Amino acid sequence: MNNDIKEILFSHTQIVEMATKVAKEIERDFKDNENPPVIVGLLVGAVPFVAEVIKHIDIPVEIEFLRVKSYVGDTSSGALKIYSHLVTPIKGRDVVVIDDIIDTGLSMKQIINMFVADGAKSVKVGCMLEKKARHEVVDFDINYVGSQVGNQFVVGFGLDYNELYRNLPYIGVLKESVYKK
Ligand code: 5GP
Ligand code: MG
């Protein structure tokens, strides 16, 4: 698996720093809140990052996960499929949606619309990585960003290529030869 990686962009140590920064920003925004916010991680990609973020949040929060799928291979299909639902009623709650990476923003836009339609009091957005150069429909604020990344396809720490490489403890770029297999 490691042999398929051309270059490491973010080490595990750097990712923990990114997660800690995001955690402290969430803490700052909700420390005086009457009700705990609901942190919604998008399955599967956001699992490692959300797991790291919540360890560093020092205020009450609820944790939920939603199974979505937006990508086939290495291009965004634009259409998001939702395979599960939340147990927590979202009406009147402050929601923080966290994804692994925001590229075009099409996936996140659909999730935000869904939570707004469900009557969320507020919807904030976070991600481990942001591909700023590529935003198509980002007319929403991204409130919590681990780091910016260039316009290249990355894997690891939750990010997959055809469902593989999510278990890498770092984020890197795949060798071209992997795509040609
Ligand atoms: P968007 O809808 O913002 O274009 O795409 C968001 C989703 O596309 C992410 O949740 C992620 O699954 C996938 N994605 C976007 N860019 C990358 C990338 O560089 N690497 C991987 N592995 N997935 C990506
Ligand atoms: Mg994803």
Q: What pLDDT score was predicted for residue 79?
A: 74
Domain ranges of the chain: 15-149
CATH topology of domain 15-149: Rossmann fold (3.40.50)
Listed residue (63, 49, 172, 144) closest to 100, CA to CA: 49
Q: Is 140 in the pocket of ligand 1 (CB under 6 A)?
A: no
**86 CA from centroid of ligand 2 (Å):** 17
- Could you report the per-residue pLDDT of 15-55, keeping only the tens digit for each? 999 999 999 999 999 999 999 999 999 999 999 999 999 99
Q: Percentage of the chain with pLDDT > 70?
A: 94
Q: Is 14 in the pocket of ligand 1 (CB under 6 A)?
A: no
User: Whose CA is closest to atom 13 on ligand 1?
Assistant: 71
- Could you report the per-residue pLDDT of 67-103, keeping only the tens digit for each? 988 755 555 556 788 888 888 999 999 999 999 999 9
Q: What pLDDT score was predicted for residue 65?
A: 97
Q: Is 159 in the pocket of ligand 1 (CB under 6 A)?
A: yes
